[in-house]
C-alpha cells in the first residue's frame, strides 16, 4: 500500500472574475483624473485666417504655441482691448518669450531640440506690429522655425 495516491480527474478551479469590474473602474477613474485635455486656456480671441496651401505639423510635442489677439470679454476690464500676447495660459510681453522658449526646450530630449517649431496663432484682425515684434524676439532667441496657424479655406465651388 502506498501512502501517496495520485489524484486523477481533478482540474484546477476557474479564475474568479468577480473583481474585474472593480479593477476596470479604478483604471478608468485614474485616467480621468490624470489626463489633461488642453495645455493652455485661451484668454485671447483667435480667429485664424483661411489659407489654401497648408501642411500639418507632425509632432505636436515639438511645437510651442504663441497666441496673439484681443483679450476675451471677461479679461478686457483688466487688460484692455489692444491685442495681447499669450504664452501658455497667461498673458505675457515680448520680453517673456526667451524664458518661455527655454522652459519648453527643457521638456524636449536634447536630440530633438533642433526640430522645435514655434506656431503663431494670430487673430486675423490683428495688425502686424505686434506680430513683427514677436518674430524679431523669436529670431533673437534663436528660434528660426516659425509656423503660422490657419484654417483650411472652405471649398467655394459647391
Q: What is the mean pLDDT of each run of 10 residues along the chain (158 residues)?
A: 66 82 92 76 89 87 93 92 92 95 92 93 93 96 93 73
Distance CA 36, CA 128 (A): 33
Contact between 121 and 65 under an 8 Å Cβ cutoff? The reply is yes
Written as one string, the DSSP assignment of 114-141 is GG-EEEEEE-TTS-HHHHHHHHHHHHHT
> C-alpha cell of 158?
459647391
Cβ neighbours, 10 Å, residue 149: 18
pLDDT at 101: 95
Amino acid at each position: 500500500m502506498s501512502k501517496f495516491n495520485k489524484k486523477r480527474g481533478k482540474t484546477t478551479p476557474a479564475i474568479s472574475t468577480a473583481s474585474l469590474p472593480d479593477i476596470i473602474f479604478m483604471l478608468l477613474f485614474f485616467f480621468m483624473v490624470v489626463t489633461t485635455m488642453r495645455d493652455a486656456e485661451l484668454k485671447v480671441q483667435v480667429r485664424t485666417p483661411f489659407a489654401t496651401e497648408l501642411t500639418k505639423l507632425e509632432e505636436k510635442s515639438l511645437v510651442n504655441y504663441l497666441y496673439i489677439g484681443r483679450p476675451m470679454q471677461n479679461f478686457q476690464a483688466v487688460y484692455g482691448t489692444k491685442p495681447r500676447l499669450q504664452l501658455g495660459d497667461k498673458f505675457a510681453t515680448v520680453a517673456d518669450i526667451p524664458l518661455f522658449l527655454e522652459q519648453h526646450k527643457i521638456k524636449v530630449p536634447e536630440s530633438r531640440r533642433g526640430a522645435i517649431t514655434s506656431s503663431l496663432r494670430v487673430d486675423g484682425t490683428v495688425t502686424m506690429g505686434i506680430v513683427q515684434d514677436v518674430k524679431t524676439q523669436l529670431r533673437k532667441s534663436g528660434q528660426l522655425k516659425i509656423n503660422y496657424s490657419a484654417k483650411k479655406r472652405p471649398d467655394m465651388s459647391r
